[in-house]
Amino acid sequence: MDTIHRFLFEDLDIRGGIVRLGPAWRSMCNVRHYVPATRNLLGELAAVTTLIGSHLKTPGRVRFQLQGTGPVSLLVMDCDEQLRLRGMARSSLEEAAPFLTKEIRSDAFSPARSAESPRGVSTFLAPAATGAPPTAKDLLGDGQLMLTLQTAKGEPYQSLVPNDGDTMAQIFEHYLTQSEQLASRLWLAADGETACGLFLQKLPDADLRDIDGWNRIEQLASTVTASELALPAETLLTRLFNQENIRLYPARNITWHCPRDEEKIRNLLLTMGRDEVADMLEDAQEIAISDEICGHEYRFGPEIIDELFPPAGRSLH
């Protein structure tokens, strides 16, 4: 189920993509135990990052990072040219979970909270008085979206835009329209089992091919439901656009990729130098380094000094 399909409306000069994440998404969730609001927002980011990352044509990695003033202060997701995905969220909602009502811990939110719950959580709960789930704006607050594009050819490219939009889809629609100067639409959904997305983009000659084509396709796509987004790509396209001539490209597989890499951490310590590593060990008797994205922890005792910085006259080989 971890697949992405790209497609093209043959007669309209409109392109799109459909992503469905299952086992890869669940593997990412198993690294940490997020409350549903945080988890679902991260799932939507996983879906849209995959949709954008699928356009990488050479070895590289695209990373999106959303920072905000709300209870979800950080979301990070990256994807390489092989569609290997990894990501994480930082949220005060997990800290607040023991104080929240059962409804808040589930996918239904309530304004009630304990007076002892962490600061900032009550602001997030305000929209729940209407019975509606929190939006991305409620969760993230004011903040920014940063893209980092790393390729084998040179220095990383970075761009920064405000988090403009009430939903994750709106934030990225704004970003794509501004950065690519092409009208773009997104529909995203996520829960504990799946993370899905539908992407449409109007190419430069669309109006020359059919002046009403983009509006028609946009209106048809706007009828999609969250449950329909999890359908197989061919089924979804037939259901939404059964009168259109669509070329569906072969599926590409997506994986969650977070292996341990102790050699990378050792190289990091090596660049710090013997004295700094020795100072760290003197303070704590042990060096502990956490890989926050993948959830791995690396621990080193005093022996690491001689392993990395052998005394004069000794060689590592």
Domain ranges of the chain: 3-256, 262-308
pLDDT exceeds cutoff 50 at 117: no
Read off the pLDDT of residues 296-314 as tens digits, 9 standing for 90 and up: 888 888 888 888 888 765 5
Residue predicted with more confidence, 309 or 112: 309
Residue predicted with more confidence, 259 or 163: 163
CATH number of 262-308: 3.90.1280.10
What backbone torsions phi and psi does residue 145 show, to the nearest 5 degrees? Answer: -110, 125
Read off the pLDDT of residues 131-143 as tens digits, 9 standing for 90 and up: 678 899 999 999 9
- Unique residue bearing structure tokens 């004069």: 312
What backbone torsions phi and psi does residue 189 show, to the nearest 5 degrees? Answer: -155, 145
Contact between 213 and 206 under an 8 Å Cβ cutoff? The reply is yes
- Unique residue bearing structure tokens 């007076």: 115
State how far the Cα of 166 lies from the Cα of 47, in Å rounded to an integer. Answer: 17
Q: What is the CA radius of gyration of the chain?
A: 23
Read off the pLDDT of residues 51-77 as tens digits, 9 standing for 90 and up: 999 999 889 999 999 999 999 999 999
Q: Residue 120: its pLDDT value, please?
A: 43
Return mean pLDDT, the chain: 86
Give the homologous superfamily in CATH for domain 3-256. Answer: Hsp33 domain (3.55.30.10)
Count CA atoms closer than 13 A to 150's CA, side-chain side. Answer: 6
Q: What is the 3-state secondary structure (H, E, C) of the chain?
A: CCEEEEEEECCCCEEEEEEEECHHHHHHHHHCCCCHHHHHHHHHHHHHHHHHHCCCCCCEEEEEEEEECCCEEEEEEEEECCCEEEEEEEEHHHHHHHHECHHHHCCCCCCCECCCCCCCHHHHHHHHHHCCCCCHHHHHCCEEEEEEEEECCCCCEEEEEECCCCCHHHHHHHHHHHHHCCCEEEEEEECCCCEEEEEEEECCCHHHHCCCHHHHHHHHHCCCCHHHHCCCHHHHHHHHCCCCCEEECCCEECEECCCCCHHHHHHHHHHHCHHHHHHHHHHHCCEEEEECCCCEEEEECCHHHHHHCCCCCCCCC
Q: Residue 131: its pLDDT value, please?
A: 60
State how far the Cα of 295 lies from the Cα of 50, in Å rounded to an integer. Answer: 21
Q: Among candidates 164, 220, 166, 232, which has minimal Cα distance to 196? A: 232
Q: Residue 97: its pLDDT value, please?
A: 52
